[in-house]
Amino acid sequence: MNEKYRRLKQKYNDIDKQISNLHAEQREIRNLMEQVCTHENVIKMDIDPFLHIKVEEETKYKCTDCYRYFTEDELKVAKD
Ligand SMILES: [Zn+2]
């Protein structure tokens, strides 16, 4: 491979790394958001009838503010 390709490829990989770091940072922020969120805007998730996976069936609510998923029980606890 020529030098120009190598430089571009290096740049490309550097951006990949930055994106991955940003995703990690975003996950941390989301965790902090979950902790302080009042979960006022929770929507009921539609269960995909083709997905009969137990985990999917238990996940029934999603907070549209912090993006956390709740089961019915978890939601009760979170709202108390
Ligand atoms: Zn929330």
Band of residue 57 on the pLDDT scale cut at 50, 70, 90: low
Mention every residue, 6+ apart, whose C-beta is less than 8 A from residue 38: 65
Residue 44 and residue 70 share a domain: yes
Residue 73 and residue 46 share a domain: yes
Please provide the average confidence, as pLDDT, over all residues in the chain: 88
Residues of the domain holding 3: 1-36
| Residue whose entry in the numeric block shows the structure tokens 């790394």 | 17
State how far the Cα of 51 lies from the Cα of 33, in Å rounded to an integer: 29
In terms of pLDDT, which residue wins out, 65 or 48? 65
Residue 61 and residue 79 share a domain: yes
Number of domains in the chain: 2
Q: How many whole angstroms from 76 Cα to the centroid of ligand 1?
A: 13
Q: How many whole angstroms from 50 Cα to the centroid of ligand 1?
A: 27
Q: Is the separation of the CB atoms in 41 and 61 below 8 Å? A: no
Scanning the chain, the segments in alpha helix (DSSP H) are 3-36, 54-58, 72-79
Residue 23 and residue 6 share a domain: yes
Residue 24 and residue 43 share a domain: no
Is the per-residue pLDDT at 77 higher than 80?
yes
Residue 72 and residue 51 share a domain: yes
Is the per-residue pLDDT at 51 higher than 70?
no
Residue 46 and residue 27 share a domain: no
Q: Which amino acid is at 37?
A: C
